[in-house]
Structure 1
Amino acid sequence: MFNAMKWVAGAFAAGAMMAAPASAETRVTYKSAKAGTSYYQMGVQVAEAMKTGSDGNIIVTVEEGQGSVQNVMEVRARGGDYVFTTPPVLVKLAQGGKAMFEGKSDPSFNDIRALFPIPSLTMHFVMSADSGVNSFADLEGKTILLGKGSFGAREGEKYLKLFGLEGKVQIADAELSNAVAALKNGQIDGFVTAGSWPAPNVVEAAASAGVTVLSLNDDQVAQTKRTRLVIPAGTYAGQDQDIVTTSLPVVAYTTTKMDDETAYQLTKTFWENKAAMAEGAPWWGGVDTGLMSNITGKIHPGAVRYYNEAGIALTEGQM
């Protein structure tokens, strides 16, 4: 009898020791972009902010992603600890089984829920000051570097067609990584890049060569069918006016497999530490509650709880 009681007590104590860390620590996988990109770096910053802001109770492991589509596809095999980033439009396409998700639909796509917005992919048409280009109409006859295979390259090519510039602009055959050096050397008149703002390559070009970042008028924004975004004056060296451009919103998502408390803590910790993140990485300064309107689908109930507590208005479709 004594030995049996001793065994039960020992088992209970061991179980308690094993359970304690699990209740105190939440582990999450954050799937972002390819290593070396700004969005992967953002993931690292989110992980650090979660650990600091939760006193070590939320541990985020950042995984390299192979693209936004793949991030969505992995929902099928992931559990409640999965957080990933993607544009809201891809979630809508996945849930509808359309475009790149045609024939690949899965019931788990309907369980995707948003947590919080992150910096948007923002279009920049960057022209050297020496080029004399101040509007899209001035681009005719100029040499532009679009890069290859990226969202910015595809979007830049689309805009040239939309604005009647197809065949009227010389497209440089070079990688975007060479853009700033080529601009400074006079090999190109400008380049197109898409990323969070302030964009590091635009910051470098503005500081070292002097640039004009083109604005779109309301009609041009409407033609692109993208989200209008304003880059405030003073963001880049020599920029004395706001820049009106377009963007592709990006959001951090999870699924209904995640429990409400974890989703609540992740969302709360993100917003409460966003200002501190912006001190070290200016692109977080472009994230505010105004971006909540870019979330076109449902938000996780745990995150909804935080937004209600914080007095942040949500639409009926988001809840």
Structure 2
Amino acid sequence: MTLLKTAAFGALATCVLATAAWSDTRITYKSAKTGSSYYQMAVQISEAMKAGSEGAISVTVEESQGSVQNVMEVRARGGDYVFTTPPALVGLAQGGKAMFEGKRDPSFDTIQALFPIPSLTMHFVMSDASKTTNFAQMEGKTVLLGSGSFGAREGAKYIKLFGLSDKVTVADSELSNAVNALKNGQIDGFVTAGSYPAPNVIEAAASTGVTVLSLNPDQIAQSKRTELVIPAGTYAGQDDDITTTSLPVVAYTTAKMDDDTAYQLTKTYWETKSDMVGTAKWWDGVSLDMLANITTQIHPGAVRYYKEIGATLSDAHM
């Protein structure tokens, strides 16, 4: 065999082996409760991975009771495990703090990021009839927060931070009733957190007319959350950008996942994101700039892809 033929054969063999490494890749993706927007996102990612890899990557979506459970399961999972959680929670797990106090495990140190997904975005939604365009004007108004959710807890926190605790009436009802209650004039506004555009805000804006309040720089600093801008035109009647806060959410795996699989998952995600926008507009809110929200290591396989496309990475990501 000539040297040229040997080199060609070697290159072909390498290509075949590389393809085989992920040609029948099975992934378990653990996200959120069935029926939630994040479970819907997981299903969309599963479908996008299948289409983008021409069937080579198969993603099974598992229901989850929440981000803490997702992180805790790292202890017993293998290299095929992908899960979603806020970056801050990974830091708490690795430090054995808060809800992870006394539960620290060495496997938490192996957690590595793949890619950002839509953030939990705070919406303070006030009816046009309430004539409320800033937080000070919420005084004397009735607002629905719901209960038990991140949005409800965060909304209550902001009301207290901004000096409105004794000035705002909190309606005793579930968030699922918010739009109807707003239409009927039973409440002046509601607070919700979810990826934007949020379905309940879309409905309220189209049927009643609403103002989604912006936070000023001081209020954002007080919240200790990540600033996020909802572009003008996202909701009916919204002529200006909305400056609000968010809780970033990221898809993670662990060092147990091989580099080729992490590379292919990350590459396929970004290359099919535009297709997912056609299914749900919340994917429009995801950009490479959101890599800055990742505060811990990114999987080396994903880093390879980000370097290929010239994405900005920090020292903490390596």
TM-score normalized by the length of structure 2? 0.93
Number of the residue aligned with 2:259: 260
Number of the residue aligned with 2:73: 74
Distance (whole Å) between structure 2 residues aligned to residue 256 and residue 29 of structure 1: 15
Number of the residue aligned with 1:132: 131
Distance (whole Å) between structure 2 residues aligned to residue 155 and residue 32 of structure 1: 21
Distance (whole Å) between structure 2 residues aligned to residue 145 and residue 23 of structure 1: 48
Distance (whole Å) between structure 2 residues aligned to residue 23 and residue 113 of structure 1: 19
Distance (whole Å) between structure 2 residues aligned to residue 279 and residue 308 of structure 1: 27
- 1:32-80 CA-to-partner distances (Å, cap 9, x unmatched) read 0000000000000000000000000000000001000110000001000
Number of the residue aligned with 1:209: 208
User: Is the 2:232–2:238 contact (alpha carbons within 8 Å) kept by the matching residues of 1?
Assistant: yes
- 5+ residue gaps, structure 1: 1-19
**Aligned AA (2:99):** M
SS of the counterpart of 2:218?
A: helix
305-314 or 105-114: which moved more?
Answer: 305-314
2:268 matched to 1:277? Answer: no
5 Å-filtered alignment, 1:82-97, equals 82-97=81-96
SS of the counterpart of 1:181?
A: helix
How many residues align structurally? 300
Residue 109 of structure 1 and its aligned partner are, at CA, apart by 0.1
SS of the counterpart of 2:58?
A: strand
- 1:219-238 CA-to-partner distances (Å, cap 9, x unmatched) read 00000000000000000000
Distance (whole Å) between structure 1 residues aligned to residue 46 and residue 201 of structure 2: 26
5 Å-filtered alignment, 1:90-169, equals 90-169=89-168
Number of the residue aligned with 2:248: 249
5 Å-filtered alignment, 1:12-31, equals 24-31=23-30
Residue 289 of structure 1 and its aligned partner are, at CA, apart by 0.7
Distance (whole Å) between structure 1 residues aligned to residue 145 and residue 89 of structure 2: 23
Number of the residue aligned with 2:302: 303
User: Is the 2:21–2:260 contact (alpha carbons within 8 Å) kept by the matching residues of 1?
Assistant: no
User: Is the 2:22–2:57 contact (alpha carbons within 8 Å) kept by the matching residues of 1?
Assistant: no
Q: 1:22 to 1:227 in 2, by over 3 A?
A: closer
SS of the counterpart of 2:296?
A: coil
Distance (whole Å) between structure 2 residues aligned to residue 242 and residue 312 of structure 1: 26
Number of the residue aligned with 1:13: none
Residue 21 of structure 1 and its aligned partner are, at CA, apart by 8.4
Number of the residue aligned with 2:35: 36
Residue 293 of structure 1 and its aligned partner are, at CA, apart by 0.3
TM-score normalized by the length of structure 1? 0.93
Distance (whole Å) between structure 2 residues aligned to residue 271 and residue 48 of structure 1: 14
Distance (whole Å) between structure 2 residues aligned to residue 193 and residue 153 of structure 1: 7
Distance (whole Å) between structure 1 residues aligned to residue 289 and residue 169 of structure 2: 38
Distance (whole Å) between structure 2 residues aligned to residue 282 and residue 22 of structure 1: 33
**Aligned AA (1:287):** V
Residue 23 of structure 1 and its aligned partner are, at CA, apart by 5.8
Number of the residue aligned with 1:5: none
User: Percent of counterpart pairs with the same letter?
Assistant: 75
- Moved >2 Å (runs of 4+): 20-24
Residue 22 of structure 1 and its aligned partner are, at CA, apart by 8.0
2:176 matched to 1:174? Answer: no
Distance (whole Å) between structure 2 residues aligned to residue 131 and residue 311 of structure 1: 47
**Aligned AA (2:172):** D
SS of the counterpart of 1:280?
A: coil
Distance (whole Å) between structure 2 residues aligned to residue 83 and residue 279 of structure 1: 24
Distance (whole Å) between structure 1 residues aligned to residue 105 and residue 21 of structure 2: 31
Distance (whole Å) between structure 1 residues aligned to residue 288 and residue 260 of structure 2: 21
Distance (whole Å) between structure 2 residues aligned to residue 243 and residue 311 of structure 1: 29
SS of the counterpart of 2:278?
A: helix
